[in-house]
Amino acid sequence: MASPSIEPPPPPWIYQVFLSFRGGDTRNNFVDHLYKELTIKGVYAFRDDSKLERGSSIAPALFQAIEDSRAAIVVLSPNYASSDWCLDELVKILECRESLGRMVVPVFHNVDPSDVEKLSGSFGLGFSELRERLLKEEMKKVKRWKEALSEVATISGWDSRYREEAAFIEQIVRDISDKVMCAPSSDAGELVGMGSRLEEIDELLQLDTNIVRMVGIWGLSGIGKTTAARVMFDRHSRQFEASCFLTNVADKFRLHGESALQHELLSKTLLERDLRTWPLGKGCNLIKERLSQRKVLLVFDDVDDLQQVELLANKLNWFGPGSRIIVISQDKQLLEAHGVNVIYEAKCLEDDEALQLFSHYAFHQNQPKKDYWELSHGFVYYASGLPLALKVLGSFLYNKSTCQWQNELNKLEKFPNRKIQDVLKMSYDGLEELDKKVFLDLACFFNGENVDEVRDILDACGFFPERAFGVLIDNAIKIPDLSAAQKLEILNLQDCTSLVELSSIQFLTKLKSLNLKGCKSLGTVPNVVGLKLLETLDLSDCSQLGTLPELPRNLKYLYVGGTAIEELPSSLGGLAFLVILDVKNCTRLQQIPISSKLNSLESLDISGCPHLLKRLSGNGNGELPESVGCCSSCMSHMDIDTENTTCKFFVSFPHL
């Protein structure tokens, strides 16, 4: 089945930009050109003359459009303050800025910002004329209008004076496009559990100080590092002269190189798309030259190599006073190596938060529906507080029946969700080979064991446990609890060369396939008779393995080639379902309990077993025992010696 995609509820706005303007001043010139350029750039803007349906009541419709817009561009022209409609719009826009976090971008079109703030000059004259026209009962609005004009005048915006209009509009559109296209939705789902986490990040950022500060966000894949950073970035970016959220740093670095990352950083912070190119190695100097006097907010997401940070923010003095740089990584050691000593550790959601987030995607409400409570808790338990897992599962289960939910929960107990597994596997794939092997050993065989004893075992095998433990911790690798995997059907531990013993699989009663091929340090295998559903056991090339336990009766495929065993257990002779028996290159093997009960055996490989082949000829008469011939009417393949070196022992062959 294809992995489900996350489909969160729609964002809490319809339009990306609301245009507030005085029609007589700018409708047929500046605003018309601005609206057209926004449309070309893919920014969905609301303009009262093109979006309102005929017959609509203009005030309620406009107010609703303001609430439904992600941002507002307020074009403050000379006669803006002479319109009570414009001023009512402005009051509503600023209310939404305060209560809903909407962005506001003022454009001072042929007016001085100080005239707007002080209501002076021609701008103030228009406001005075409006006040004289007001009825007595309308005068109570005047104070709020004044406050709104004073507030909007202090918001960082654009001044059209002494600017060429076409270039001026292009810069405005570029700025607003970056803000609304890259801004996170911050819907209810995104914000579940974010309150306390954002408070912790804000404390580390110390936004009220004028120092330059670099903060790290660290944690495992899918835990919400990027989401937290995006919500924080959206809330605070307006406090800075320039800002940039640089995504997928690791991938971009590998695909496009250092210059592409530096170019994207500068183009977003300087609002210049057509930056000149520069020689390789000069980007660092250019970043320092252009940003050293600017207060910037920078976020570098998914950093996995020290060089990436050094290319983008090697020194704090590259940036102006009050700047904040946030580096997001799964590698704590990388952050510390760059001198990022202030690090926020992203944590999994608490149980109540996890249930709320899951419900948001599964039901589009804050709690499960009546008949889904118990099932919901099952999925929440499976997700272990990981936001990504909760989103994926909730979105996939939306609008499905309880029967479908139960089937999916049963399936997850056997087969992990691919989308979740792929994200978590990124943490594992980033490890070196030695650390991968130690991780698998810890996860499957030593989880919950005494740390000192495990350390001694790994150290005796030459696997540098102290270093490995540190790497796993710094890379936020979470050791899974297999005791919760009682319905696991396949366990593949091939080439875990540090594995010494296998002692924790007795609870895997649903296990059908166990692959330990190439586990060269494995000395013993525990009793597997209790694994009644086990069909495949692969112990090939476990060169230290000297004995085998009794085998479960439903076993179909047994591979023990290349081991140090001297004999196979007597229970093998009664395996009526055994199809393949491979003991190739078991140089010490002397006995194999061939029996007529092996009536399903199709393939037998005993090549490279000199001691066994000698003993199979009985008392040295050079004949294979008749039991080899009668053990199976299905036998289609028998390999005695591919190298043809021990066939010299045989002078006759049994009837097959």
Active site residues: 89
Q: Cα dist. 233→185, 195, 404 in Å?
A: 12, 14, 39
Closest CA to 515 of 557, 472, 455, 452: 557
Q: Rounded distance, CA 500 to CA 461, Å? A: 8
Block residue for tokens 């010494």: 500
Closest CA to 458 of 446, 443, 444: 446
Other residues' Cβ atoms within 10 Å of the Cβ of residue 423: 18
Q: Produce one character per residue of 369-386: b if its CB has 16 or more CB atoms within 10 Å, e if not.
A: eeebeebbebbbebbebb
Under a CB-based contact definition with an 8 Å cutoff, are residues 303 and 328 in contact? yes
Closest CA to 92 of 192, 20, 172: 20
Closest CA to 72 of 122, 20, 108: 20
Q: Rounded distance, CA 66 to CA 77, Å? A: 19
Residue 538 sits at φ, ψ, to 5 deg, of -115, 110
| The dihedral sign for the CA sequence 47, 50, 53, 58 | positive
Helices (runs of H) and strands (runs of E) counted in the chain: 27, 17
Q: What is the identity of the amino acid at 525?
A: V
Block residue for tokens 């338990």: 381
Which 8-state DSSP code applies to residue 484?
A: G
Q: Percent helix, strand and coil across the chain, each rounded to 5?
A: 45, 10, 45
Block residue for tokens 């199809």: 579
Residue 99 sits at φ, ψ, to 5 deg, of -90, -30
Alpha-helical regions (H) of 46-193: 48-51, 58-67, 84-100, 113-118, 121-133, 141-153, 165-182, 188-191
Q: Rounded distance, CA 391 to CA 364, Å? A: 12
Helix (H, G, I), strand (E, B) or coil at 480: coil
Q: Rounded distance, CA 266 to CA 243, Å? A: 10
Block residue for tokens 């060269």: 520
Block residue for tokens 């909760």: 390
Other residues' Cβ atoms within 10 Å of the Cβ of residue 626: 12
Going by C-beta distance under 8 Å and a sequence separation of 6 or more, which residues neighbour residue 312? 246, 249, 261, 262, 265, 287, 298, 300
Q: Rounded distance, CA 202 to CA 215, Å? A: 10
